[in-house]
Structure 1
């Protein structure tokens, strides 16, 4: 069984017991959170596709940690203009574990 849900403008395909990283979510470590924006649920041979959301579907997850992702470099460069700007960014991410997918 797997599900596709929407969070932070992105879509994630998950199964029960999977650990994924999402953009920062408010909540304490060990707290249980729920996602209601479920777009699709697949269970053996049954597909439930939402229009746009599956009614009554719910994904329960547990917050494992809050961390910062790897640093990415942003480089702005104009050739022959003697301009080069280098900047770094580290996005804060929340690691969650999918506990249950409810249809």
Structure 2
């Protein structure tokens, strides 16, 4: 059994007991999130595709932790002009544990 959900502007394929990393959500660690935006649901031979979403299926997930990704270095330079700019960025993320898919 798996489902494709739309969460925080991105699509994720999830199964029960999966851990997924999503863009930073405004939720407390330990809280439970319900995702109603289920785009596809498959249970063996039964595959259902939403137009655009399925109404009667929900995915529940628990917030495990928040964190930050590895640093990305942005370096700008113009040759012969003594122009150099170095910037770093770390994107925030949230780890979710999928509790179940309620069909």
TM-score over 0.5 for the alignment?
Answer: yes
Task: Name the CA distance, whole Å, in 1 between partners of 2:38 and 2:78.
Answer: 44
| Aligned residue in 2 for 1:21 | 21
| Aligned residue in 2 for 1:49 | 49
Task: Name the CA distance, whole Å, in 1 between partners of 2:11 and 2:31.
Answer: 22
1:1-103 aligned within 5 A: 1-103=1-103
Aligned-residue RMSD, C-alpha? 1.3
Structure 1 residues 81, 60: CA separation in 2 closer, same or farther (over 3 Å shift)?
same
Task: Return the TM-score normalized by structure 2.
Answer: 0.91
Which ranges in structure 1 are unaligned for 5 or more consecutive residues?
A: none
Task: Name the CA distance, whole Å, in 2 between partners of 1:15 and 1:3.
Answer: 7
Task: Name the CA distance, whole Å, in 2 between partners of 1:56 and 1:79.
Answer: 59
> Alignment length, in residue pairs?
103
